[in-house]
Amino acid sequence: MTTYVLVPGAWKGSWSFEAVVPLLEQAGHTVHALTLTGLRPDDDDATVATANLDTHADAVVRLLNRAHVTDATLVGHSYAGMVITAAADRADGRISRLVHLDAYVPRDGESCWSATNEHFRKVFAAGATDTGYSVRPPAGGDPRRRPHPLASFLQTIRLTGVAAQVPRREFVYCSGWEDRTPFAALRARLDADPEWQVHDLPTGHDAMHEAPEAVAALLLDPAPARADALHHGPISTVCRR
């Protein structure tokens, strides 16, 4: 049995994995889907204003402590790639697998702001004009989205190297929004790194809602694909080991 910790991206809560959670649970696994500090419906302005990347990473570690998890798979979507990397670095070897679902894979000293593209820097800056400390969601999309703490986008990550020792590290590239994605160069970088397994999904950024079965199948994969294997269907996988 695997323990999955699912961390949503910017503006979202645990509900962003609502179609994936039951598929993992039906397969007999334990699933924790988080809503990060500052994104909860009852969070006040002070909580939103002070929440940063450290706050979010520490929330993941507290969950591991509270649930006595010693062998976790952390899944982070979009911004939450920053969170699961920072959390893995603080988790004392309790993480066996990292899955960056169309998500940032930061290096020491990077922030979400520095790692993203100009399109999203403009989104962040424009979205922060209302309060100066939170970023309103872009127009359209799920009405459950909430303003996201600006400090979490701006804070740089500090890594000791522990996260780089996680045995299984995977990056999922969603190829259906190539006009705006900030992850094309990241995909190329990780594809050339033998320590990473790279998957391609032919979906937009919100793969959990567009193709929950494909996302769940990828998460349920018990072992990295062989380097000479290519999945045909909703998931294609490129793997170098």
List, run by run, the mean pLDDT of 10-residue segments along the chain (241 residues): 97 98 98 98 97 98 97 98 98 98 98 98 98 96 97 98 98 97 98 98 98 98 52 40 33
Residue 138: name the closest of 111, 119, 113 by CA. 119
Burial class (CB in 10 A: 0-12, 13-18, 19+), 100: buried
Residue 55 contacts residue 37 (beta carbons within 8 Å): yes
The identity of residue 112, as a single letter, is: C
**b/e per residue 108-138 (b: at least 16 CB within 10 A):** eebbbbebbeeebeebbeebbeeeebbbbbe
Tell me how many domains the chain contains.
1
Contacts of residue 106, Cβ cutoff 8 Å, sequence gap at least 6: 81, 82, 85, 112, 115, 157, 159
Whole-number pLDDT of residue 223: 66
What is the model's pLDDT at position 222? Answer: 80
Distance (Å, rounded) from C-alpha 53 to C-alpha 154? 8
User: Who contacts 237 (Cβ-Cβ below 8 Å, separation ≥6)?
Assistant: 197, 198, 199, 200, 225, 229, 230, 231
5 within 8 A of 69, measured Cβ to Cβ: yes
Question: CB–CB of 120/79 below 8 Å?
Answer: no
How much is the pLDDT for 237?
44
Q: How far apart are CA 64 and CA 59, in angstroms?
A: 9
Task: Residue 181: give its domain's CATH number.
Answer: 3.40.50.1820
pLDDT at 114: 98
One-letter amino acid for residue 37 of the chain:
T
Domain that holds residue 121: 3-239
Q: How far apart are CA 127 and CA 110, in angstroms?
A: 21
